[in-house]
Structure 1
Amino acid sequence: MDITQKSGTATRKRSSRKGNSAPTIADVARAAHCSPMTVSRVINGEENVREATRAQVLDAIAKLNYIPNRAARSLAGGAQLRIALLFDNPSASYLSEFLMGALEEASRRDIHLVVQSCETVPESKELISKLVDGGIVGFILPPPLCDDQSVLDQIRASGGIAVAVGPGRASGSHGAVQIDEFQAAYDMTRHIIGLGHERIGFIIGNPEQVASGQRLEGFRAAMEEAGLTISDRLIAQGQFTYRSGMVAAEKLLAVDPPPTAIFASNDDMAAATVAMAHRRHLDVPNDITVCGFDDTELASSIWPELTTIRQPIREMTAQAVVMIAKAYRQKTPASKAKGEQVTMAYKLVRRNSDAGPSLASSFQRASEKQ
């Protein structure tokens, strides 16, 4: 897939102003209570702006639907920044959130964004070279690409700017945006334990991704702290895909005695677990609690809606765009750039898929009849 987002290609709703003319940088400055020069600095990603002022300017830009004047920028000697978002992620829900965050921020900053699928290492090498030759200077790398050292090395060797979204084992990027995966999984496990569950199943994500291991460790730490037994029979391997969640859930639900709760490492696998429970005539959450991770659109589009960890995916991707713009404006050589690490807040969102194990006995009887 190759999607290109260019400023001005889509029809935008203009703010209601005299003569219905497009908003100007002066309009933004008035709305943000600052000077046009400050607005220009924010648009160009320069550092010498207070964060509170930067937030006011960005808010004014969004409310006015302001589009930077490219002709004026050209006269000032500027050039439109070109960024590529590479992806190889099996979750359509995660990818949708990821893509929207990047598109919205790129549009706001008049950045040319290319979105490109990249499924293999040999393919990535050829693709990165092609993109750099085409004027791409920044790369946004979600998992699992942020785990691939060869991808990071090639981008740096080409003089490009790479920002990882999510934890990765590869080193040498210009920055990373993530949440505390370990603590988030720990908190969700403590929540499930707090409901009264002791036999808790866990579905691991793709073993090639760092986040999978961190979430598993968070689960283990919470279980050990509570003095609960961690049975290997109640831990199943998944791949972050819906299909792998079905297979893993079927394995966990066949254990005797079965778990009274299952914590899946992402919403796709949690949704698959709910489907498998229904297939076995089990009610969620009365017979079994199911919780997920990410809070993608899928989490609130199934029934029951999932209790999950809200990872600010859109905001994380938008921040990656900001970081690339900042590094580009600083014009720091790729070989000397220091990686900026940004950790964002997550939130445990409770919906309808969890409850206490009050009906665990009925779950047990239902399982024994099959």
Structure 2
Amino acid sequence: MARRRQAVTIKHVAADAGVSLQTVSRVINKEPNVRPEMMARVQASIARLGYVPSIAAQRMAGSRSYLILALNDRERTIADWRKREGTDWVDQMLLGGMLTCAEHGYRMLVELVDTHSDHLERELLAAIAAVQPDGVILTPPHSQNPAIAALLDAQGISFARIGSLASGAGFALTMGDEDAAALATGHLLGLGHRRIGFIAGPAEYELSAWRVDGWRRAMAAAGCDAADLLAEGDFSHASGEAAADALLSLGSPPTAIIASNDQMALATLEVARARGLDVPRDLSLISFDDTPAVRFSHPPLTAVAQPIAEVAARAVELIIADVAGRQVADGPVVVPAGLAVRRSTGIPSTRSA
């Protein structure tokens, strides 16, 4: 039987470089109070021995855990996983968060918590006790839950709130949802549409209202009446079907619809087809999220491309800077979304205009 190779530890590096364990730890953690020649000696030993720093070694330099915990909504995430739908948001968050953590010697873990649970505080305290994170990233709807924010603040944990501008502790980050909705609406207005419907997300998400505001702002600026063109959804496929059916049943139906997420947009596409409408000849359609599902639908959907990876990366950077005691700018951080124009939008047909 082959013998297992002995793992190289921080002790091996210290012995090879002829320095203390604490000095090696300071070099690993990129702390400023290390002489250049000492840093070069330790780095040479690390390269020679093939040492990979561990979290345990990093912790030796101080009280930091070098772990960042991301909280996602349990019920919605598990439901999407089981249906094999909607995982791209989580994937992109992990992409931006994990890679940025790795650049700074951190690790990111994900915990699923039910924001509506009667045992929310107990669940969250248990997760914090188990992981002892340096910081926490809150995603919607956790990011706007005052109980979670108050608990983290009381624990002295640095945290970032993605998709929330509510007052209080924590770094607020958004993807410019109001401007993104206005951008999508402006694209349709530029094509000649004047009856542009909007399917909103659930009211428990702050960003749902921002998107409605952006659509209304663009419609008002163009002198278009939008009073009867708003339908409510909850981000589910079924709610998208009901909302699209309601809009397309109007006496003067919209020639274009913007849906607040991909599931509701795909549902709208199905409803349009069932009614014998061609997209985009009879109905133009824009989605939010830009997951693979809408990029490979028929036709591929024009979509607001949310910079989820970028905003997660920025959240990590803010937390790490805060934990390190570096100056961090006040005020909300906006990482603006863009619009990916595809084949689901076009000029309104003469029969529907």
The residue that corresponds to 1:255 in the other structure is 250
1:342 corresponds, among 333, 337, 347, to 333
The residue that corresponds to 2:155 in the other structure is 158
The residue that corresponds to 2:325 in the other structure is 330
Contact 1:141-1:164 at 8 Å conserved across structures: yes
Q: Which moved more, 1:69-78 or 1:234-243?
A: 69-78
Separation (CA, whole Å) in 2 of partners of 1:149 and 1:264 = 28
The residue that corresponds to 1:84 in the other structure is 69
Q: What whole-Å deviation, never above 9, does each CA across 1:70-106 have from its counterpart, x for those lacking one?
A: 5764565575412211111564332332233223323
1:222 corresponds, among 205, 215, 218, to 218
Kindly state the Cα deviation for residue 288 of structure 1 after the two structures are TM-superposed. Answer: 0.4
Count of aligned positions: 301
Kindly state the Cα deviation for residue 223 of structure 1 after the two structures are TM-superposed. Answer: 0.8
The residue that corresponds to 2:176 in the other structure is 180
Instruction: Work out whether 1:289 is the aligned partner of 2:274.
Output: no
Contact 2:113-2:124 at 8 Å conserved across structures: no
Q: Which moved more, 1:270-279 or 1:95-104?
A: 95-104
Q: What whole-Å deviation, never above 9, does each CA across 1:249-289 have from its counterpart, x for those lacking one?
A: 11111112221100111222112211221222221111100
Which amino acid in structure 2 is aligned with residue 197 of structure 1?
A: H
Kindly state the Cα deviation for residue 186 of structure 1 after the two structures are TM-superposed. Answer: 1.1
The residue that corresponds to 1:319 in the other structure is 314
Contact 2:160-2:170 at 8 Å conserved across structures: yes
SS at 1:122 equivalent: coil
With normalisation by structure 2, the TM-score equals: 0.76
Instruction: Work out whether 1:243 is the aligned partner of 2:238.
Output: yes
Separation (CA, whole Å) in 1 of partners of 2:52 and 2:274 = 51
CA, structure 1 residues 338+143, in 2 after alignment: closer, same or farther (shift >3 Å)?
same
**Structure 1 spans left out of the alignment, 5+ residues:** 1-23, 25-37, 47-65, 365-370
SS at 1:132 equivalent: helix
Which amino acid in structure 1 is aligned with residue 171 of structure 2?
A: G
Instruction: Work out whether 1:273 is the aligned partner of 2:287.
Output: no
Contact 1:164-1:173 at 8 Å conserved across structures: no
The residue that corresponds to 1:352 in the other structure is 343
Q: What whole-Å deviation, never above 9, does each CA across 1:108-167 have from its counterpart, x for those lacking one?
A: 433232212112243431122112212123111111111111110011112212201123
Instruction: Work out whether 1:136 is the aligned partner of 2:136.
Output: no
Contact 1:138-1:324 at 8 Å conserved across structures: yes
Kindly state the Cα deviation for residue 214 of structure 1 after the two structures are TM-superposed. Answer: 1.0
The residue that corresponds to 1:100 in the other structure is 95
Separation (CA, whole Å) in 2 of partners of 1:237 and 1:227 = 23
Which amino acid in structure 1 is aligned with residue 145 of structure 2?
A: D
1:306 corresponds, among 288, 301, 305, to 301
Instruction: Map 1:25-40 onto structure 2 (within 5 A).
Output: none
Contact 1:67-1:108 at 8 Å conserved across structures: no
Contact 1:176-1:339 at 8 Å conserved across structures: no
Separation (CA, whole Å) in 1 of partners of 2:329 and 2:270 = 45
Instruction: Work out whether 1:205 is the aligned partner of 2:190.
Output: no
SS at 2:118 equivalent: helix
Contact 1:176-1:342 at 8 Å conserved across structures: yes
Contact 1:163-1:320 at 8 Å conserved across structures: yes
Contact 2:143-2:162 at 8 Å conserved across structures: yes
Separation (CA, whole Å) in 1 of partners of 2:104 and 2:55 = 11
Q: Which moved more, 1:221-230 or 1:121-130?
A: 121-130
**Structure 2 spans left out of the alignment, 5+ residues:** 1-12, 14-25, 33-50, 78-85
Separation (CA, whole Å) in 2 of partners of 1:70 and 1:82 = 8
The residue that corresponds to 1:191 in the other structure is 187
Instruction: Work out whether 1:122 is the aligned partner of 2:118.
Output: yes
SS at 1:206 equivalent: coil
Separation (CA, whole Å) in 1 of partners of 2:27 and 2:197 = 51
Contact 2:195-2:255 at 8 Å conserved across structures: yes
Q: What whole-Å deviation, never above 9, does each CA across 1:171-194 have from its counterpart, x for those lacking one?
A: 323212212221111121111011
Kindly state the Cα deviation for residue 197 of structure 1 after the two structures are TM-superposed. Answer: 0.7
Separation (CA, whole Å) in 1 of partners of 2:332 and 2:345 = 34
Separation (CA, whole Å) in 2 of partners of 1:276 and 1:242 = 11
Separation (CA, whole Å) in 2 of partners of 1:301 and 1:290 = 15
Separation (CA, whole Å) in 2 of partners of 1:128 and 1:165 = 18
Kindly state the Cα deviation for residue 243 of structure 1 after the two structures are TM-superposed. Answer: 2.1
SS at 2:99 equivalent: helix
Which amino acid in structure 2 is aligned with residue 86 of structure 1?
A: L
Contact 1:189-1:219 at 8 Å conserved across structures: yes
Which amino acid in structure 2 is aligned with residue 87 of structure 1?
A: N
Contact 2:260-2:288 at 8 Å conserved across structures: yes
Kindly state the Cα deviation for residue 40 of structure 1 after the two structures are TM-superposed. Answer: 6.2
SS at 2:169 equivalent: coil
Kindly state the Cα deviation for residue 308 of structure 1 after the two structures are TM-superposed. Answer: 1.5
Q: What whole-Å deviation, never above 9, does each CA across 1:214-257 have from its counterpart, x for those lacking one?
A: 1111111111111111132x210011222211111111111122
Two-structure CA RMSD over aligned residues (Å): 3.0
Identity %: 33
